[in-house]
Structures are given as structure tokens and as C-alpha cells.
Structure 1
Amino acid sequence: MQPRLIILCTGNSCRSQMAEGFLRELADDLFNAQSAGMNPAAEVHPLAVKVMSEIGIDISGNTCKHINAFFDEPIDTVITVCDHADQSCPTLPAATKRHHFSFPDPAAAEGTEDEKLVVFRQIRDDISRILLAYVAGRRDAL
């Protein structure tokens, strides 16, 4: 059984969903990557789905989930991608690895859809860069 890695943010609608998509694409052989939220939104943000599809990653079937849904099985690693989730993360077993990478919330972007897409793409690209380095480090450790 692969180790389970949870990407956690507040609403589980943008940042954690994009990160889950990247990790499934980049490291499906290393761990079972899933995302969750402290206070999950009703749906994955449509602009997150759009910007990920632009680079060939489909997150359109993802759903927003609460972190409590993952306490039934061991969690190897939790990556928080927003400051609120990092500060509010529930107590985890001592063996659980934790990492925090802070990204602004693209859902807070204002303006036209084109202006919002610029912000979503920037956050997507920032998440990609960080996770590429993270996955490379995990591979090197093996």
C-alpha cells in the first residue's frame, strides 16, 4: 500500500485541488495524493479546473472533502498550502510528516475573468515549481 499524502487548505477548492492534480501526475508511483479542506467549499473552483486543463491535467472530477474524512487510515504526510490550514491543522500522529507551502488564494482575485485567470495561472505555476522540487527530493531520499 502506498503512503497517503494529504494536501490541505481551507476550502479545498483551488490550491489543494491543483496540488493534488500535480502530485497525481508527477508522483503517482510514490504516494496516494489526495486533497482536503478545513471548511470545504461546495465545489472545485471552475477556474482551477480550467487552468489545470490548459496544461493537460484534469481535475474536473475532483470533489471538495473535509480533512476528517481521512482519519480512518494512516496519513504519511500532510502538506498545507495556505496559512490558515497550517495554523488550524488538527493534531496528527507523531509519525505524520508535515510541510507547509504558503500560496495566496486565487479565489480572492478580483476583476474580469481574464484578470482572474492570470492570478490562477500564477498560483498554478508556483505550486508546480514547489511540488516539482518536493517530488525530486522524495525521489532522491529513496
Structure 2
Amino acid sequence: MTKPTVLFVCVHNAGRSQMAAGFLQSLAGDRIEVLSAGSEPKDQINPVAVSAMAEAGIDIANNTPKLLTVDAVKESDVVITMGCGDACPIFPGKRYEDWELDDPAGQDAATVRRIRDDIRDRVEKLIDELTA
């Protein structure tokens, strides 16, 4: 089996999708290809998300929000959206999931930690499913 590619999509690609991509890269290593993008990317990663991930031992400080492209969706085997609604193009034969997660933008550190921990749990389950 070829290495699966997972695309995480949220509106700004500055919090949830960046944290999910960070966990997947860290926990899956080279077993899974990881992409992230946003329908309306911000100019930088949410600093509270960067801090929360650093507490978990994962550095996302140098990541840059990226614009969601049709090609990114085409390249992916699994597309996980996080509150971006209908902004993500749908292609037959792909696995789509919508993770309902609070947006960490403007939230305090305790709230962002809770979102981070929820994302980690979901990413661990995803790794188990994709590498079984």
C-alpha cells in the first residue's frame, strides 16, 4: 500500500489544522504524508496555538498558513475539515471527515489546550485507522 496523504482544512489554517498537522507529522513520522490549508488563510499561525503545541513538545512556530487548492484535495486520500463548511471541493473516491472543533482564535490558553488535546486524540485514532 502506498503512503496515505491526509489534508487538514480549516478557515484560516492558523490553529486547528496546523495543530492537527503537527500532531500527525510527529506521531506518524514518515508513515503518512501530511498537508494543511485554509479557505481564507491568515498571515501567521495563532501564537496561542504555537504555545500550546510547544507545551506538547511539537514546534509549529515556523509553519505558514496556506491557501486551500483543488490540487491539494486531489493529492489527498483523506480530507479532514474543521469548520470550513462548503469551502472544500468534493471529489469522488476520497474519504472526508468533518471534525467539529472550536476555533482557537481569540481563546485563552486553557481553551486552546483543551482543543489541542481533543485534536491529539482524534489524530491518534486516525493514525490507527490508516496504518492498521
TM-score (norm 2): 0.90
> Helix, strand or coil: the match of 1:107?
coil
The ranges of structure 1 where at least 4 consecutive aligned residues each deviate by more than 3 angstroms after the TM superposition are 69-73
Equivalents in 2 of 1:133, 1:23: separation in Å?
Answer: 11
State the AA in 1 paired with 2:89.
Answer: P
| RMSD across aligned positions (CA) | 1.8
Offset of residue 22 of structure 1: 0.3
Change in Cα spacing, 1:29 to 1:121, as seen in structure 2 (3 Å) is same
Offset of residue 72 of structure 1: 8.8
5+ long unaligned stretches in structure 1: 110-115
Cα shift readout 1:83-113 (whole Å, capped 9, x = no counterpart):
xx24321133x1222111110101142xxxx
Aligned to 1:106: 104
State the AA in 2 paired with 1:58.
Answer: D
Equivalents in 2 of 1:127, 1:106: separation in Å?
Answer: 12
Cα shift readout 1:24-55 (whole Å, capped 9, x = no counterpart):
01113322111100110111011111010011
Larger radius of gyration: 1
Q: Percent identity?
A: 34
State the AA in 2 paired with 1:101.
Answer: W
Aligned to 1:13: 14
Residue correspondences, number: 131
Change in Cα spacing, 1:52 to 1:69, as seen in structure 2 (3 Å) is farther
Equivalents in 1 of 2:82, 2:76: separation in Å?
Answer: 17
Change in Cα spacing, 1:50 to 1:73, as seen in structure 2 (3 Å) is same
State the AA in 1 paired with 2:86.
Answer: Q
> Helix, strand or coil: the match of 2:9?
strand
Aligned to 1:89: 88
Equivalents in 1 of 2:63, 2:28: separation in Å?
Answer: 18
Equivalents in 1 of 2:27, 2:34: separation in Å?
Answer: 10
Equivalents in 1 of 2:59, 2:106: separation in Å?
Answer: 22
Aligned to 1:27: 28
Quick one: which of 106, 110, 114 aligns to 1:118? 110
